[in-house]
């Protein structure tokens, strides 16, 4: 009887995270879907480059499929400087929502895809870096 109470309490405590788990709502696709429409004057497509406003160049990265959902970025350049990064596609997940501003801020500081992974959003960070690097490479081509 002395062991029954601790075993019961620990069993319930171990099951609480299982009961509270909420799987992501986004589905993972194995094929690249058409990119989401953009607010800029250029219709984005993977690797597309176009002129934005006031001499800026808008480049769209490839769509990267992750376990949490698709990730795709759009990068705005003025000259050779990255001035803005916009997420066209991102997983509908709380960690992703919190990670995106950090990823964008690091990109603007680093001016490259050589940025740190955001803790708790590793898959999104990896997909973000891959799509960002594709956009940077497309701009250079």
- Count CA atoms closer than 13 A to 127's CA, side-chain side: 24
Over residues 40-88, the pLDDT tens digits come to 333 344 444 455 556 788 999 999 998 888 999 999 998 889 999 999 9
Distance of CA 111 to CAs 15, 75, 118, Å?
45, 11, 17
Indicate the pTM of the whole model. Answer: 0.62
């Amino acid at each position: 009887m002395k062991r029954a109470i601790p075993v019961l309490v620990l069993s319930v405590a171990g099951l609480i995270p299982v009961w509270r788990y909420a799987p992501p709502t986004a589905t993972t696709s194995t094929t690249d879907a058409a990119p989401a429409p953009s607010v800029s004057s250029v219709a984005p497509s993977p690797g597309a480059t176009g002129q934005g406003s006031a001499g800026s160049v808008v480049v769209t990265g490839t769509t990267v499929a992750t376990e949490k959902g698709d990730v795709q970025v759009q990068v705005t350049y003025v000259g050779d400087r990255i001035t803005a990064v916009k997420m066209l596609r991102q997983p509908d997940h709380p960690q992703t929502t919190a990670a995106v501003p950090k990823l964008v801020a690091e990109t603007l500081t680093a001016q490259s895809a050589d940025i740190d992974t955001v803790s708790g959003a590793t898959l999104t960070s990896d997909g973000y870096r891959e799509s960002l690097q594709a956009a940077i490479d497309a701009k250079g081509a």
